[in-house]
């Protein structure tokens, strides 16, 4: 049955480090459309925010495997099929994905197992806080480059706010917050390259008055 033309399945991405499922809100593409890196595929709702999923691939949409409005779609589940040539699109009219949902989301990158939210630093008397880690913005992403930070220490952030722009090898994609709070520390720099998925990037606190306590914060896995 491998008589299908060369193609690629795009899978539900983990748009935040803790995301395990997403809801397909609105498709921005249809079968036959040409895709380029940075094009918006669809809006995905998590429990905290609606975030645009941008393509990192070049090609044509040959099949959409998950209908608009679908809820609880697991990270790693095939969502659409992309082919290199528009001529190949008709061959996928009755396409069935390779993993029909029972398979585990094998394509999600293995994030470093460390990265707990609570600091294991010697003086572990920091106020309550959360580390936001480099997200996997595509199923195959393992590292990203920090292009431009859009927040600074002291800023209030809410779900949907742009934290920074992240460059992968194929596209520059906005990383949107799924948390509410205040930026207490930024652990990466503009222009920093090859930041592994799962690496702490910034610290968020609930209370603005807690920010000064993080002036010299070092993440637990300070390598």
Bridge partners, 172 (sequence order) = 167
Long-range contacts of 35-40 (CB under 8 A, 24+ apart): 35/59, 35/60, 35/61, 35/82, 37/170, 37/171, 38/171, 38/172, 38/173
Its pTM stands at 0.54
Q: Do domains 7-92 and 129-214 have the same CATH topology?
A: yes
| Annotation: CATH topology of 129-214 | OB fold (Dihydrolipoamide Acetyltransferase, E2P) (2.40.50)
State the DSSP string of 35-85: E-TT-EEEEEE-SS-EEEEE----EEEEEE-S-TT--SEETT-EEEEEES-
Collapsing DSSP to helix, strand or coil, 97 comes out as coil
Q: Where are the chain's structural domains? A: 7-92, 129-214
- Is the CB of residue 91 less than 8 Å from the CB of residue 84? no
Residue 200, H or E segment: strand 200-205
| Annotation: CATH topology of 7-92 | OB fold (Dihydrolipoamide Acetyltransferase, E2P) (2.40.50)
Which among 103, 25, 90 is positioned nearest to 63, based on CA atoms?
Answer: 90
Look at residue 106 in the predicted model and tell me its pLDDT. Answer: 37
d(CA 57, CA 109): 17
What tens-digit pLDDT sequence spans the chain (223 residues)?
Answer: 458 899 999 988 877 767 789 999 999 999 999 998 888 999 998 877 788 888 888 899 999 999 999 999 998 899 999 999 999 999 999 898 865 443 333 333 333 333 334 433 444 688 999 999 888 777 677 899 999 999 999 999 998 888 999 988 777 888 888 888 999 999 999 899 999 988 999 999 999 999 999 998 988 754 4
Widest CA span in the chain? 62
Look at residue 174 in the predicted model and tell me its pLDDT. Answer: 86
Look at residue 220 in the predicted model and tell me its pLDDT. Answer: 72
Q: What is the pLDDT of residues 174-219, one digit of tens each?
A: 888 888 899 999 999 989 999 998 899 999 999 999 999 999 898 8
């Amino acid at each position: 049955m491998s008589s299908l033309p060369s193609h690629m399945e795009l899978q539900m991405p983990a748009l935040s480090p803790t995301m395990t499922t997403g809801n397909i809100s609105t498709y921005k593409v249809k079968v036959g459309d040409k895709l380029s890196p940075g094009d918006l595929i669809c809006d995905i709702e998590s429990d905290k925010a609606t975030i645009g999923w941008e393509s990192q691939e070049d090609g044509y949409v040959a099949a959409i495997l998950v209908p608009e409005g679908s809820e609880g779609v697991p990270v790693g589940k095939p969502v659409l099929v992309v082919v290199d040539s528009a001529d190949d699109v008709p061959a996928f009219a009755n396409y069935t994905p390779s993993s029909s949902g029972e398979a585990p989301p094998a394509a999600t990158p293995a994030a470093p197992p460390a990265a707990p939210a609570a600091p294991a630093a010697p003086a572990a008397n920091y106020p309550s806080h959360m580390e936001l880690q480099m997200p996997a913005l595509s199923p195959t992403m393992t590292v990203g480059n920090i292009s431009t930070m859009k927040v600074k220490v002291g800023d209030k952030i809410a779900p949907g706010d742009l934290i920074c722009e992240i460059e992968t090898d194929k596209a520059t994609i906005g990383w949107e917050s799924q948390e509410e709070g205040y930026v207490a520390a930024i652990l990466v720099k503009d222009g920093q390259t090859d930041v592994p998925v799962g690496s702490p990037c910034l610290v968020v606190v609930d209370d603005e008055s807690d920010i000064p306590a993080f002036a010299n914060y070092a993440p637990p896995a300070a390598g």
